[in-house]
Structure 1
Amino acid sequence: MKEIGGYFELENLISDEYYSNLISLNSARNSLLYLIKVKNITKLHIPYYLCDSVINVLKNNKINFDYYKVNSDFTPKFEGKLKKNEFLYIVNYFGQVSNEMILNFKKLFKNIIIDNTHAFFQNPIDGIDTIYSCRKFFGVPDGSYLSTDIKDVKKLPLDKSKDRMQHLLGRYEENAFDYYKQFQTNDEIFEKEPIKQMSRITHNILGAIDYEYVRRVRNKNYIYLYQKLKNFNKLNLNIPDGAFCYPLYIENSFEIRKKLIDNRIYISKLWPNVLNEDRDKIALKYSNNILPIPCDQRYNEKDMEYIVDIILEELIKEMGE
């Protein structure tokens, strides 16, 4: 029976999602699991340079997998042949793998899955399974979009996000530091979450975002960092559309990371699990030395200037020693 009257719930906001035509699930890892199930994938070939959440999904669901190396330009260094139900999992690191390159990989390997969790604004290609993460780009508690030709989600339960909002609301009204534990707890929940449809709360927030503004700010901030730091960066980078972050590769980046964190500029260490893996030297170096500099829609050119000044000061100090 429908409830009428009483106190108000959260308002329904503008419903204008960026990928309203794609499947919407509760997490990127579950988008991968969905693909594995509906496509009857028997084996997945994954890069060494990868977050452990994907690896854990495969292990927890007893999915057969093996590793391949990546080239210095972030493309797969895969020389094997895929059998009928085997797929190559290609990560679009920092948005550096273009759609033109992806089409070439499709011709070469046929069975591929594209991980666009670092490239929200890079549109999927028809006929190529593509995964997106909402949490990596926006202030939402969960959510993933999936581009695939098998859309069998109606029987999946609907996720509920109300108990995963504390860190978002806490940082919005107060600060990040005091709610970091809640953020970590929220992250851990997804390890055991089954495949569900995206929650109404997440849909509601995603429908009200000004995506062109987000894209424009990210592009402007990225270009500023690119221009100021390219002479120090050991990576040869393209300029992606609506960048995830600016990846700055500097040997022995520990001191710069520490200096940034001391100034409340939080630089995550992408995929520290790779540090336990010495079979791919490039993955090991990248995990150790790439600093993912924030350039998202929360910040402006002054913020970028502040970050650059700290980095350059530390670099100049190191060169003088």
Structure 2
Amino acid sequence: MKEIGGYLELELEDRGDFLHSDGICLNSGRNALEYILISCSGISKIWIPYFTCEVILEPIRKLNIPYSFYPINERLEIEELLQLGESEYLLYTNYYGIKDQYISYLSKLYGQKLIVDNAQALYAVRMENIKTFYSPRKFVGIPDGGIAYTNNMVEIPNYAQDVSYGRCMHLLKRLEMEAIEGYNDFRINSGKLIGQPISVMSLLSRKILSSIDFLAIRKKRIQNFEKLHEALMNRNLLDMSDFGFFECPMIYPYYVDDKTLRKKLIDNRIYVATYWPNVLKWCSEDKLEYELTNNIIALPIDQRYGSEEMDYIIKLLV
């Protein structure tokens, strides 16, 4: 018999299944990748893009898997398609959640040798038999969590369930205070995820995910993206020919040759993340990836905002 009575917990509406709840729900995106890599027996090498987050290397190094980098082009696509060896795999990042169509092409080309990093593409549909992982905390306010899909969807029974209450301070502060007040807590929480063993997603993270209206979030994000794109597409140096062929973006990637713009936005209380500063160490200044890291401005389009906030951003940019 479970306990009865006592003080009340945080109230969260239960909407049932959440986005990708049929996947292997683990405690972080990097551990979802680790789970996928474990399921791939006998990997001789994995190819990863220069233009990606350094946490990708954590599970690869942990499992002692040899890796090599590959460059991308201005369409955020593989510069020169790779010929994979028998036991080699290719990891491709769904940049900003706008490369769904290209991933469909890669899946036909590489099949089960493709691993899709959908950390920035929570709404992207997982293609059958394609190894894929997601990181929901990039899109919604949860302390941790990752979701994996492999060819053989069998959950390893020995994983303990994670506990997340100690990683929520930044989320609670963000409700009652400005972002800057909780930013250090956010960084501390991110640091807590480093080196964590694979665990089953915590009950808290599952409950939060089960309480979210994902359809409403998708609608708001797409509306905000479209509003920015209409105003900025003629100034945006990024090839956006994939516009309309993706499920839901994470941010609006605004590529401009203006080194002062990021500071201008932050000074006006528009907080834009840099994806990914580690690339500046991995690449020389003459590489495209170096340029993309410095000059793509990640404009926020998330579900907290609407036309008023998008108009404020546009006014500062045009």
Q: TM-score, normalised by structure 2?
A: 0.93
Task: Give secondary structure in 2 for the equivalent of 1:46.
Answer: strand
Quote the offset at 1:32 in angstroms: 0.7
CA contact (8 A) 1:171 1:179 kept: yes
CA contact (8 A) 1:260 1:267 kept: yes
Partner of 1:4: 4
Matches of 1:154 and 1:78 in 2, distance apart?
40
Summarize the alignment of residues 225-264 of structure 1 with structure 2, pairs less than 5 Å apart: 225-237=228-240, 238-239=242-243, 240-252=246-258, 254-264=259-269
CA contact (8 A) 1:57 1:191 kept: no
Quote the offset at 1:166 in angstroms: 0.5
List runs of 5+ in structure 1 lacking aligned partners. 313-321
Q: Larger deviation: 58-67 or 117-126?
A: 58-67
RMSD, matched Cα: 1.6
Task: Give secondary structure in 2 for the equivalent of 1:205.
Answer: helix
Quote the offset at 1:58 in angstroms: 2.2
Q: Larger deviation: 289-298 or 41-50?
A: 41-50
Task: Give secondary structure in 1 for the equivalent of 2:138.
Answer: coil
Partner of 1:105: 106
Summarize the alignment of residues 190-269 of structure 1 with structure 2, pairs less than 5 Å apart: 190-237=193-240, 238-239=242-243, 240-252=246-258, 254-269=259-274
Matches of 2:161 and 2:303 in 1, distance apart?
29
* 2:310 maps to 1:309: no
Partner of 2:180: 177
The list of structure 1 runs, each at least 4 consecutive aligned residues, that deviate by more than 6 angstroms after superposition, is none
Task: Give secondary structure in 1 for the equivalent of 2:172.
Answer: helix
Partner of 1:115: 117
Q: Larger deviation: 164-173 or 238-247?
A: 238-247
Matches of 1:214 and 1:109 in 2, distance apart?
32
Q: Larger deviation: 162-171 or 148-157?
A: 148-157
AA partner of residue 249 (structure 1):
Y
CA contact (8 A) 1:81 1:109 kept: no
Partner of 1:161: 164
CA contact (8 A) 2:50 2:283 kept: no
AA partner of residue 267 (structure 2):
D
Tell me the alpha carbon deviations over residues 289-321 of structure 1, each in whole angstroms, 9 at most, x when there is no partner. 000000010001100000111122xxxxxxxxx
Quote the offset at 1:133 in angstroms: 1.0
Quote the offset at 1:76 in angstroms: 1.6
Aligned CA distance change for structure 1 residues 107 and 213 (closer, same or farther; 3 Å): closer
Tell me the alpha carbon deviations over residues 35-81 of structure 1, each in whole angstroms, 9 at most, x when there is no partner. 11121233210000011111233234422100001121111234432
Partner of 1:289: 295
2:61 aligned residue (56, 59, 64): 59
Summarize the alignment of residues 32-51 of structure 1 with structure 2, pairs less than 5 Å apart: 32-40=33-41, 41-51=43-53
Matches of 1:249 and 1:12 in 2, distance apart?
39
CA contact (8 A) 2:13 2:211 kept: yes
Q: TM-score, normalised by structure 1?
A: 0.92
Quote the offset at 1:173 in angstroms: 1.4
Identity of aligned residues (%): 36
Matches of 2:257 and 2:12 in 1, distance apart?
48
